[in-house]
Structures are given as structure tokens and as C-alpha cells.
Amino acid sequence: MTVDDTTQVTQATQVTQVTHVIEGFREVYGRAPDGVWAAPGRVNLIGEHTDYNDGFVLPFALPHTTLAAVAHREDGLLRLHSGSPDVPGAVVEVRLAELAPGREAGRTDGWADYPAGVMWALREAGHPVGGADLHFASTVPHGAGLSSSAALEVATALALNEVHGLDIPPRELAVLCRHAENAYVGAPTGIMDQMASACCTAGHALFLDTRDFSQRQVPFDLAAHGLRLLVVDTRVTHAHSSGEYGQRRAGCEAGAASLGVTALRDVPYAELPSALDRLDDAEIRRLVRHVVTENERVKRTIALLADTSSVRAIGPILTESHASLRDDFRVSCAELDLVVDTALAAGALGARMTGGGFGGSAIVLADESAVRPLTAALDKAFTTAGLPAPRVFPALPSRGAHRMA
């Protein structure tokens, strides 16, 4: 198998996508949109399950985006339509006055809850949004742990922000999107995905402090060092993932409470041994150890990336992160472990699961010359294990959310 070229997103394909999404909008709503906005999916280089512990993360944006063609309305109606093959179907129509979180009125219990939740969050925060027609198309792989939900939310938020002249800065939009996901959709996620989609810049990873949202763009040009970062989508999503996520989060909060700190971010790495001694529960000890060591790994990665001669040295840190997520945080799965083990045996410099876990994608850092043998080794390992071949593509740090037309 070769690297999957169908997942490459070039500027030319983006232009075609914009034309398509405008045509799609016209077909569905019988008029022209006010504009088209794009928001990307992301991979997280390192800093996993740290964002709801006020910790550090280092994601970057993918070239894969969700496009929203949008026209404003002022009659209190929200209409949503998706042109994605994953979720074809009728226009979802909701009255703004009926939008309400949880199981209440206005809920559609599907993809439309994400954009509807963003509309709800904007209005709840007091922004004057009178309605809108939206039509979406996406190249972000769905269910691959690459933040297709955040891309959908952020594309919606950016579009509504402009068509209603709200002038909300990107960081604040990201916070509103997370609120939509937490309170409206009901998924207890952290801020990383929305902030990455809203704030990343091309050629950089985003070093984000999830406590105060301070951020720094970190140059991340692997090609200049003859390196590649591959995304390996295992194509599996384990059903229990959202419940497990909530349990890990609750365990971290219990750990912080036992240690008398606001969040696990407040446990310094140097004090980890004494903190662990103070915890009776073995499960909570493991969760705490992961979060504290993972924050330290983000800092070590940042330090190595600051020096162009040491970029390769981030490889083993990625692998350490995977071991910690597998053994201490326990959010990996057989397919993700297979990617990491196979990649390392085939000469990768480092590899880890990325995102929430329990399926989805892993990332692999490798010399450019190792990409083909490595991809072949992954293909073979999956076939031998009786699994469908994973989807592999190189990840290029790309632009965050922006207006396309």
C-alpha cells in the first residue's frame, strides 16, 4: 500500500470544494450564500488528556476542513443542511426560541446538534443572532479522532460571527464552541480541539495553556529536516469511548480534590512522587501520573523544537506519551497499539495515539525515506490481524479557520 493520496487536500481541491459548497447552498436554499467559511480538523502532537486539567497541549491544524456556506436571516429560524456523504438528508429546521440543551426541545440528536449548539451558545452569551441558513461540506475524516465535530462548530461560529457582524475574536469563538459541545450536545470535552481549529496557523503547532488560553505559535516544519508526520487512521471507534472519557475526567478531578489543588496542572513534576504517596486509590494514582508527566513531555517537546538540530529527538517523547496513555491513562486500544508497535519496529522515530483514544488515529514521526516501508509494514500488520488496512496520510500543519469566499 502507498500513502493514501485521496486524503490529500491541495489548494486546487479547496477551490473546487468552495464552488461545490456554493452550488450546494443554491440548490438547497434557492439563493446565494453571503459567504463561505472553513475550519480545519486537527492532530495533537503531544499533550493528551491534559486540557481538562488546565494543562498544556500542542496541536496543529490539518489541511482537511469543514466548509460552511451561510446566509443570514432575521426571522428567528435556523436551517441546517449537510452535503457530506456521511450525513446526507433533509434540511433540519429549528426555531431559535426553541433551542435548548439536553433532551429538551430543539434537539435533533445528530450532526445538526453541533451547529445548533453553537447558535444556542451565541444567543445564550447575549449575542444578537437572528437566524441563518447553513450548508456544510467536509473533508475532515469523520470518526477518526481528528476533530470533525470541532471543525463543524468552529466553521459555524466563524460564519455566524461575520454574517451577523458580531466581531468576536477567535479565542472567544472557540470557548463558545466548547460550551456548545459541553452544555448543548452533552460531551464533556476540553478546549483543545476548538482552540486548534480556530487559532492554528500554517507551518506551526499551537502551544496552548488551557488554563488561561495564552498561546504561542511554534514553528513546525518537519519537511525542512527530512521528516514526516504520518496520521494513521485505524478506522475503528470503540462504542464506549464517550463514557470512558467522562470517567477519566471525573477521576482527574477527584485526584485534584484529594491533593487539594484546583487542577492536576498545579502538581509540579518535581513533586509527583510525594503527590502519588498521598493518594490511596491506585486508579487515581495512575491518572495523576499520566497528566503530570504528560505536561512535562509537552514542555520537553517545546524545548526540543526550539532548537532546529534537535527536532528528531521529539520521537522518543511521543512514544513515551503513548506508553503513558496505554498503561496509566488506559485510553489506547489494540489497533492503536498495533500502529505504534509496528511503526517503531519498521524504523519510526516515535509514535503515539492522538486525540481522545479508544480508536481513531495515531501519529508516526519518521524519516521521509522510511515512509513507504513503514506504510507497507502497517498494511501488512493490519491484514495479518484480520483488520481493514488503516488510512495513512502525511499531516501538514495548516491554517486555522478563515473565510474562503
- CA dist., res. 9 & res. 143, Å (int): 18
Q: How far is CA 262 from CA 178, 208, 209, 271, 306, in A?
A: 20, 18, 15, 16, 30
For residue 355, the minimal CB distance to ligand GLA (Å) is 4
Q: Using the minimum distance from each CB to ligand GLA, give the nearer residue, 63 or 355.
A: 355
Q: Which is nearer to ligand GLA, 22 or 155 (CB)?
A: 155
**Which CB sits closer to ligand GLA, 118 or 371?**
118
If you search the block for the grid coordinates 524545548, which residue do you land on? 303
CA distance 278 to 295: 20
Minimum Å distance from CB 382 to ligand GLA?
A: 23
User: Minimum distance from CB of 28 to ligand GLA (Å)?
Assistant: 29
Give the 3-state secondary structure of residue 372.
helix
**Least spacing, CB of residue 155 vs ligand GLA, in Å:** 16
Angle at alpha carbon of residue 356, lines to 49 and 198, rounded to 5°: 85
- Select 70 or 187, whichever has its Cβ closest to ligand GLA: 187
Q: Which of 166, 94, 167 is nearest to 133 (CA)?
A: 94
Question: What residues make contact with ligand GLA under the rule CB under 6 A?
Answer: 48-49, 51-52, 189-190, 192-193, 355-356
Q: How far apart are CA 67 and CA 379, in angstroms?
A: 31
Based on CB atoms, which residue is closest to ligand GLA, 197 or 342?
197
Query: Catalytic: 193?
Result: yes
Name the minimum Å distance from CB 150 to ligand GLA: 7
Q: What are the phi and psi torsion angles at 276 (to 5°)? A: -65, -35
CA 127 to mean position of chain CA atoms: 26
Q: Which of 51, 113, 133, 193 is catalytic?
A: 193
User: Which sequence positions are flagged as catalytic?
Assistant: 193
